[in-house]
Structure 1
């Protein structure tokens, strides 16, 4: 993929593509040889999210995130030690963005490591927005410059995370932070143990969450600010899956078994997003 890159770097890019296979379409419009930093930034986001959500022991996650905070804070001077940081800080825009914006997602991730289950859907948005908003602000500044508003990108990044968390409902049923808010669980009479078991109550609770996500995605479309090609595809895919699963007999199974849409529709969406990005930046 990224020609001339090391095997170590490629492994991080592969992890990103494994988590978001629909992004392979975007690579036709964000060429790795022309825009290595754009791809490295997406892979970095995946690394930070993996530390924030994929490590079950908070002290282990905190140690990894602390390493990233030190790495990103000093990368402008050192050039970075990590393969992703080295690619990013080989680009002048990395220094122009400023260290505070680079470190902000890591600090937000550390703040929310031991948060419990939110009371309601609005509480979920509030809890997830600092981390995903900071990632979206960094991405927006990288793609479009500091003057571009990250508001829409921040909201759709948060929604995509909540949709992804919902897909892992049965795997994460014993974690402190559940993918369904407490009010939803109470309305449908669901205990933590029952989240692992298919049934009418779980289906209703998942479907309610999907309807809330779909409504929030419609509202997000009215927010200001551009979306990167990658964020456009992530948001499109998440919204599509939420709508599809909400109408399925077993909504959680529909979410978990869904495949990337791809095809001409996905390619056209990536092309449109690339055209908007190129017009906005003159590239």
Structure 2
């Protein structure tokens, strides 16, 4: 158990650097539920890394196949990875249908093969293929969680982060902006790699649209972690939509949280009672 605890702490440290809402949310989680909440968050980051960030196709495919095998072992208690071992200790996690974990990996693979989205609704729907299974898994911890809202919030957050890392996405041949937005601003895919007034205008419109979409979400259906992330993403998008240099604004705010995230996290923790 001590080894698993130490390993979990190392994953928390790793992902807290990229996602400051994680350590914030863990402060408000009941001690009994904390390891499971943390392990699931870190697992989603690890799988998401292979789905969205690893450039080499063979490496990403190998990682996702390994995770598929590992998650298949979770219900039987034979998991090998520190994160899945922690999850296997939760009766709520072990009782999830096997196809829930399968759907998570299928959604991750879908991100590797995703075609450019025609519009923002298509872009959200594409990312939701990964976040809908996560919502189903998370609802085993938080019975009051609204899966549909969690999936939408997760998909929108993913788009915010992907857009803020535009150069990196382009290098890995991903397009985090919809095609109709590019058409309205007379931009090609290659144009996005070059700073210009047209690109800045397109990004401001993009972040404004994301801000409007997130404002429609009912945060009362979210876990503390997701509520904190939504509050942070709302401010990131609002600032980027008004910035002279929206890409620099969005990228520069990924590692910091506004005070509104603390307030949102606290309120969500009061509403959501974990069951592990």
Q: 3-state DSSP class of the match of 2:272?
A: helix
RMSD over aligned CA atoms reads: 2.3
Q: Distance in 2 between matches of 1:272 and 1:131?
A: 26
Question: Could you tell me whether the CA contact under 8 Å between 1:75 and 1:85 is conserved in 2?
Answer: yes
1:240 maps to which residue? 235
Deviation at 1:70, TM superposition (A): 1.2
Deviation at 1:262, TM superposition (A): 4.5
2:191 aligned to which of 166, 191, 194:
194
| 1:65-84 matches, cutoff 5 A | 65-84=64-83
2:14 maps to which residue? 15
| 1:59-208 matches, cutoff 5 A | 59-144=58-143, 149-208=146-205
Q: Distance in 2 between matches of 1:262 and 1:244?
A: 12
Question: Could you tell me whether the CA contact under 8 Å between 2:4 and 2:85 is conserved in 1?
Answer: no
Q: 1:94 to 1:9 in 2, by over 3 A?
A: same
1:260 maps to which residue? 256
1:46 maps to 2:42: no
Question: Could you tell me whether the CA contact under 8 Å between 2:140 and 2:275 is conserved in 1?
Answer: no
2:206 maps to which residue? 209
Deviation at 1:186, TM superposition (A): 1.8
Deviation track 1:33-66 (CA, whole Å, cap 9, x = no partner) reads 6521111000000001001011112232122111
Q: Distance in 2 between matches of 1:28 and 1:116?
A: 39
Q: 1:4 to 1:27 in 2, by over 3 A?
A: farther
Q: Distance in 1 between matches of 2:31 and 2:11?
A: 14
2:265 maps to which residue? 270
Where structure 2 has 5 or more consecutive residues not aligned to the other structure, the ranges are none
Q: 1:31 to 1:18 in 2, by over 3 A?
A: farther
Instruction: Single out whichever of 154-163 and 204-213 deviates more from structure 2.
Output: 204-213
Instruction: Single out whichever of 179-188 and 162-171 deviates more from structure 2.
Output: 179-188
Deviation at 1:197, TM superposition (A): 2.4
2:222 aligned to which of 227, 235, 243:
227
What TM-score do the two structures reach when normalised by structure 2? Answer: 0.91
Deviation track 1:78-112 (CA, whole Å, cap 9, x = no partner) reads 33100000011111111122222122111111133
Deviation at 1:220, TM superposition (A): 2.3
Q: Distance in 2 between matches of 1:3 and 1:211?
A: 46
2:245 aligned to which of 226, 241, 250:
250
Q: Distance in 1 between matches of 2:237 and 2:44?
A: 22
Q: Distance in 2 between matches of 1:273 and 1:86?
A: 27
Length, aligned pairs only: 275
